[in-house]
Amino acid sequence: MSLLKNDLFLRACKKLPVERTPVWIMRQAGRYLPEYRKIREKADFITMCKTPELAAAVTIQPVDIIGVDAAIIFSDILVIPEAMGMKFDMLESRGPVFHHPLRNSDDVKSLKKIEPETDLKYVLDAVALTKRELDGRVPLIGFAGSPWTLFTYMVEGKGSKNFSEVKKLIFNNPFMAHQVLDLLSDAVADYLSAKIEAGANAIQIFDTWGGILSQNNFEEFSLRYISKVISKVKRKEEPVIVFSKGVHFKLEEIASAGADVIGLDWTMDLGDIRKKIGGRVALQGNLDPTVLYANEDKIRNEVKKILQSYGEGSGHVFNLGHGILPDVDPENAKSLVNIVKEESKKYHLANAAG
């Protein structure tokens, strides 16, 4: 940590004093950047993920272009199911589509137990290369999908509106669901441990589909396995961020599961949540991603409201409440980062002198 030139993000994750609030953007390496699209013209998405030089290049783009305080390794949550034997295509405008979704016990039998050091070596190589190329400028975040979110994709086979297939499965064959979730928890924990070993300074678990479950089912099918992952990940001081989208109701439980930082979507009130759990965890978020369609004055106003809602002191990592949208003007992303840097100083004045 001490080798980093800018460790604001890691300090905020640990609620240590900072001079200003650090900022990064979920899905910051992506299609809204012309520089990303230029590389993407020459290679398909999966090839980009599997080529460490390309993955490192696009990982570093938002650090150079947008000025964020952390990099997140360019990859996808679906590399785990892919390594388990489930092939998918990334279709333009439709997103990922699995060739054979997981629907019955025979499908489960064909899932392969993964060894990250061999099966996902390309990601670990990308992490190591990115670290070298970043040369300590900012920390590097590693990530994985939560077991539940991966399971949802594997069963639905593609994006979904009602999540009927995965719901049918948990209600009609909970034994199979738990069997696969258990397998995924081991895979995710081993994978995140390997990423830390390769140089990741922090890890984020994306529980994008946690919010489609009722409160009881969230505990049974998502939280239990996030807990398992966190307790199994081998780490020293690397913070764990959990982003469960749409999960207002279990934030205390997520904190109890061992998260150091909880990511909030934009429907939640940062100040209220700080009052409830800010003593135990740091908070990340939570600007509505569509605010980046607005002009600079509006962006500034919305940023100020979020900073004010969190209030004074460390423990806040500024981010969007979900990923940046592909048709956002990169100039607006730059403005956002600059505005956070300027406007957040006054909330940390007590530290400036010392």
For ligand CP3, the binding residues (CB under 6 A) are: 26-31, 40, 45, 72, 74, 76-78, 90, 95-96, 143, 159, 206, 208, 323
Catalytic hit among 7, 11, 69, 153: 153
- Cα–Cα distance between 265 and 314 in angstroms, integer? 19
Smallest gap from Cβ 215 to ligand CP3, in A, equals: 21
| CB atoms closer than 10 angstroms to residue 93 | 5
Token digits for 225? 């396995």
Q: Is 225 a catalytic residue?
A: no
Instruction: Indicate the residue among 278 and 289 with the shorter CB distance to ligand CP3.
Output: 289
Residue 19, both tokens: 């001079």
Residue 214 C-beta: closest distance to ligand CP3, Å: 20
Residue 27 annotated to the active site: yes
CB of 313 to ligand CP3, least distance (A): 27
Name the catalytic one among 27, 103, 224, 235. Answer: 27
Smallest gap, in angstroms, from Cβ of residue 90 to ligand CP3? 6
Complex with ligand CP3: residue 300 or 317, whichever CB lies closer: 317
Residue whose CB is less far from ligand CP3, 311 or 323: 323
204: three-class secondary structure by DSSP: strand
Provide the minimum distance between the beta carbon of 180 and ligand CP3 in the complex, in angstroms, as a whole number: 18
d(CA 232, CA 152): 22
Report the residue number whose CB is nearest to ligand CP3: 95
Rounded to an integer, what is the distance from CA 64 to the centroid of its chain? 20
Type of residue numbered 289: P
All residues at 6 or more sequence positions from 42 whose CB lies less than 8 Å from its CB, including other chains: none
Q: Where are the alpha helices (DSSP H) in the chain?
A: 8-13, 34-42, 45-50, 52-65, 79-83, 105-109, 116-119, 121-134, 147-156, 164-172, 174-198, 215-217, 224-232, 251-256, 270-277, 296-310, 330-343, 349-352
- Is the Cβ of residue 31 or residue 121 nearer to ligand CP3 in the bound state? 31
Angle between helices 330-343 and 52-65 (to 10 degrees): 60
Nearer to ligand CP3, 241 or 277 (CB): 241
**Phi-psi group of 23: left, alpha or beta (phi > 0 → left; psi -120 to 50 → alpha; rest → beta):** beta
Exactly one of 69, 76, 207, 265 is catalytic; which is it? 76
Q: What span, in angstroms and rounded, lies between the C-alpha atoms of 18 and 12?
A: 7
- Minimum CB separation from ligand CP3 for residue 256, in Å? 23
**31 part of the active site:** yes
Residue with Cβ nearer ligand CP3 (166 or 347): 166
Minimum distance of ligand CP3 from residue 336's CB (angstroms):
15
Which residues does 322 contact at the CB level (< 8 Å), separation at least 6?
A: 26, 245, 265, 266, 289
Q: Looking at this protein, which amino acid is placed at residue 257? A: A
CB 322 within 8 A of CB 207: no
Please provide the size of the chain in residues: 354
**Is residue 32 annotated as a catalytic residue, yes or no?**
no
Nearer to ligand CP3 by C-beta: 146 or 335? Answer: 146
- Would residue 280 show up in a list of annotated catalytic residues for this protein? no
Give the active site residues.
27, 31, 40, 76, 153
